[in-house]
Amino acid sequence: MTYSFPNGFLIGSSTAAYQVEGNNTNSDFWAEEHAEGSPYADKSGDAIDHYRLYREDIALMASLGLKAYRFSIEWARIEPAPGLYSRSAIEHYRGMILACREHGLVPIVCLHHFSSPQWLMRCGGWVSPDVPERFARYCEFVFTELGTLIPYALTFNEINLPTMLRGIFTKIGMVPPVGIDVASWSAPEWRVDAARLCGTTVNNYVTFHMISDEAKIELLKEAHRKARETIKRISPQTQVGWSMALSDIQSVPGGEAEAEARWKLVFEQFVDAMEGDDFFGLQNYSREVYGPEGALRPAEGAELTQMKYEYYPEALGYVIRKVAKALPTMPIIVTEHGVATDDDERRSEFIRRGLYGLQSCLDEGIDVRGYMHWTAFDNFEWQAGYGMTFGLIAVDRATQERKPKESARVLGSIAQSVGRE
């Protein structure tokens, strides 16, 4: 496969603060991990110690040929108590951005990647009417300090993920069943204990992953709008958007209505909040196929990833086209695309085929500005712990030694070819 990405097209990788930094003890996820009976397979602990080793990690990414790094800032570090901002933490993230610039990586900064400060749970979490203003004030501090250094910003990562995965989250006791509010929910004991560890009760313990009903979604939209307004006021040159997790929604005969309803649920209901955004962050991993009775299982014999969904890199191009049709004037950056596998040859193939689909979208005139692979390193994959390997770079967590995989070199080589005819 050959590619002809235009000058300025960004190719890099992504991480999330909670998954790589380690010891985010003020975060609500830390409480979930350490709650009695927690469904988390592992404790994050030091994670891959990226908080300490970021300079070496950024230099390594650059040495492999990558040209951009999408990472997140941990709200719980920046604002460990309401209205109390950490000078130490903001200087740490300043150091990360400057390290990117030093090594020729364009920084793409995400302000919220799932995890929230524990104190927010004591204030009612993501159902509190104050949360949009609180989030905007956090963004104001970050951009007052760092705005001139940040060319691209995501307010939120995968704002639609709770809607996509509500059924799964219900099964593991993360959210109440449809139609039952938090106040009347018989939450599992581990969640009661997580709330206790945050210094509150389970009725107040409304985490980001519970934002899947209309009222909470409207609060999230307002938080995005306020954050965007704040960022643009302080740093008008920063390009602002958010990211969404989008499978390629397909149907077999008789399943067209189911597929259409699914797309409305996971994408269309959020479109109104994007008016005024500078770009759209698209994140894709696979496809979903619908029949008359709903979602179908992958076909017998289909290749599955460690996450048990279908290995289907072609989904990326198809989803780009659907988003471009809905948002015809908005540039797209692929802010995540990856595969959980211990077979790195399959990861390399996933990258090649995914980028081939992206290239065809560019050839059709669709405005795609970049591709960030998930993820830079094998890391802490939330409830799945350390068992899922998405990374371009392996990490020996006993020694924290980094070992680039061949897939990292494949992506780096493609990144180095950008602008060459």
Residues 190-244: pLDDT tens digits?
Answer: 999 999 999 999 999 999 999 999 999 999 999 999 999 999 999 999 999 999 9
Domain boundaries, the chain: 10-416
Residue 169: what pLDDT? Answer: 85
CA distances from 309 to 108, 121, 288, 343, 388 (A): 28, 32, 9, 16, 13
pLDDT at 420 over 80: no
Assign 312 a pLDDT band (cuts: 50, 70, 90): very high
Of the candidates 116, 112, 78, 114, the residue with the CA atom closest to the CA atom of residue 94: 78
Count of CB atoms within 10 A of residue 104's CB?
12
Catalytic residue among 158, 288, 336, 381: 158
Which residues are CB-contacts of 297 (< 8 A; sequence separation ≥ 6)?
none
Residues 319-328: pLDDT tens digits?
Answer: 999 999 999 9
CA angle at 137 for the pair 133 and 141, rounded to the nearest 5°:
170
Residue 49: what pLDDT? Answer: 98
Q: How many angstroms separate the CA atoms of 134 and 231, rounded?
A: 14
Average pLDDT of the chain?
96
Residue 421: what pLDDT? Answer: 56
Residues 42-64: pLDDT tens digits?
Answer: 999 999 999 999 999 999 999 99
Residue 117 forms beta bridges with which residues?
27
Q: How many angstroms separate the CA atoms of 202 and 189, rounded?
A: 10
Count of CB atoms within 10 A of residue 185's CB?
15
Residue 382: what pLDDT? Answer: 97
Assign 336 a pLDDT band (cuts: 50, 70, 90): very high
Poorest-confidence range of 4-8, 167-171, 262-266?
167-171
Identify whether 381 is a catalytic site residue.
no
Specify burial of residue 396 (Cβ count, 10 A radius: 0-12, 13-18, 19+): exposed
Residues 60-111: pLDDT tens digits?
Answer: 999 999 999 999 999 999 999 999 999 999 999 999 999 999 999 999 999 9
pLDDT at 411 over 70: yes
Q: How many angstroms separate the CA atoms of 109 and 70, rounded?
A: 6
Share of the chain above pLDDT 70, in %: 99
Cβ–Cβ under 8 Å, residues 66 and 105: yes
Residues 122-177: pLDDT tens digits?
Answer: 999 999 999 999 999 999 999 999 999 999 999 999 999 999 988 888 888 888 88
Residue 1: what pLDDT? Answer: 66
Output b/e per residue, 67-85; b: 16+ Cβ within 10 A: bbbbbbbbbbbbbbeeeeb
Residues 29-45: pLDDT tens digits?
Answer: 999 999 999 999 999 99
Q: How many angstroms separate the CA atoms of 233 and 343, rounded?
A: 46
CATH of 10-416, one of 3.20.20.370, 3.90.1150.10, 3.20.20.80, 3.40.50.2300: 3.20.20.80
